[in-house]
Amino acid sequence: MTTFSTGALENNGTPPIAALLLAAGYGTRLQPHTNEWPKCLMPVDGSPLLQYWLESAKELGASKVLVNLHYLASKVEAFLMRPCFRGWVDFVLESKLMGTAGTIRANYSYFANSTLLLVHADNYCQCDFTAFLRYHQTKRPKHCLITMMTFDTHYPSTCGIVETDELGVVTAFYEKVANPPGNRANGAVYLLAPEALKWIKEHPEAQDFSTEVLPRFLGRIATWHNDQVHIDIGTIESLYEAQKSQDMKIPKRDVIEADDWEKMFTNHPIHQQLKSAFNSKIK
């Protein structure tokens, strides 16, 4: 992993932006497709899922992006080692998964003094990321150290549902419970102030972000609502749904250049495997 110095305030007085893209998952619900191809590189409209997040981080102005690896790490590493990512994207291999808070703590020097875009990269998301950042920097209640992206889900019992007050501050969580009181869901995309990162560093007992960090910040988590597209790529059905969402697609920003990896990916069997799976679901 490349070593960076800790960030200083930018010219406008706000911390620089860094990003952590969590891409270490096994993707068990997408088996057998994930037996040989990682979930984070599953194609959406012909491009790897992780590519959309890298483009979004770049659009947001992130000067450095860290991706954590574990399952099928060598395949993800090959994707990230390309010249188009050199100088702004790094990766770290976790031989044993540490939990989101553990990953932040282990790489604290990479993120310190920055606003952190924290993303579970097995989601597919379309939204105005600039507006998301602007809300966090200038409009969130001042006592809030975290801004959570929310979305409205059709399947509330499978998501983390949140309740908020009149300012949009989270007052209660309902993590994958039957009959939750609403459908406003946690999108697992966050902006964390430097003070929140420092808290994680100083509390090594917290490993899981959803169950051991967020509850400690209850009343100090602002929300920003994504009313465009937000899909948890956890099943073949949701991956198919992401393909269909392309009629609402935000144009790509040409961050990724065509190269040998792109040519390999274009001809990879995963495309035909998924096409066959999609067709069988339609019938």
Q: State which H helix or E strand residue 51 sits in.
A: helix 49-60
For position 200, what pLDDT does the model report?
Answer: 97
Residue 135 binned pLDDT confidence (cut-offs 50, 70, 90): very high
Tens digits of residue pLDDT in 8-27: 444 456 899 999 999 999 98
- Would residue 67 count as lying in a domain? yes
Backbone angles phi, psi at 20, to 5 degrees: -120, 115
Cβ atoms within 10 Å, residue 235 = 12
Contacts of 209 (CB under 8 A, 6+ apart): 99, 100, 101, 118
For position 279, what pLDDT does the model report?
Answer: 81
Q: In this model, does residue 254 exceed pLDDT 80?
A: no
Cis-peptide into 32, omega within 30 deg? yes
List the single range of 75-89, 135-149, 234-248, 267-281 with lowest mean pLDDT: 234-248
Rounded to the nearest integer, the mean pLDDT of the chain is 88
| Residue among 232, 56, 185, 66 nearest 133 (CA) | 56
What is the pTM for the complete model shown? 0.90
- Would residue 6 count as lying in a domain? no
Query: Which residues are registered as beta bridge partners of 189?
Result: 119
Instruction: Give me the mean pLDDT over the 194-204 stretch.
Output: 97
Q: In this model, does residue 141 exceed pLDDT 70?
A: yes
Residue 144 binned pLDDT confidence (cut-offs 50, 70, 90): very high
SS3 161: strand
- Would residue 8 count as lying in a domain? no
Tens digits of residue pLDDT in 70-126: 999 999 999 999 999 999 999 999 999 999 999 999 999 999 999 999 999 989 999
Q: State which H helix or E strand residue 64 sits in.
A: strand 64-69
- Would residue 254 count as lying in a domain? yes
Residue 160 binned pLDDT confidence (cut-offs 50, 70, 90): confident
Q: What range does the domain containing 189 cover?
A: 17-282
Q: Do the Cβ atoms of 66 and 50 come closer than 8 Å?
A: no
Tokens of 269: 């069997």
Distance CA 110, CA 230 (A): 28
Tens digits of residue pLDDT in 226-235: 999 999 888 8
Looking at residue 180, which CATH number applies to its domain?
Answer: 3.90.550.10
- Would residue 11 count as lying in a domain? no
Q: In this model, does residue 49 exceed pLDDT 50?
A: yes
- Would residue 10 count as lying in a domain? no
Number of structural domains (the chain) is 1
Instruction: Give me the mean pLDDT over the 234-256 stretch.
Output: 67
Distance CA 10, CA 196 (A): 19
Residue 250 binned pLDDT confidence (cut-offs 50, 70, 90): very low
Q: Do the Cβ atoms of 29 and 44 come closer than 8 Å?
A: no
Residue 282 binned pLDDT confidence (cut-offs 50, 70, 90): low
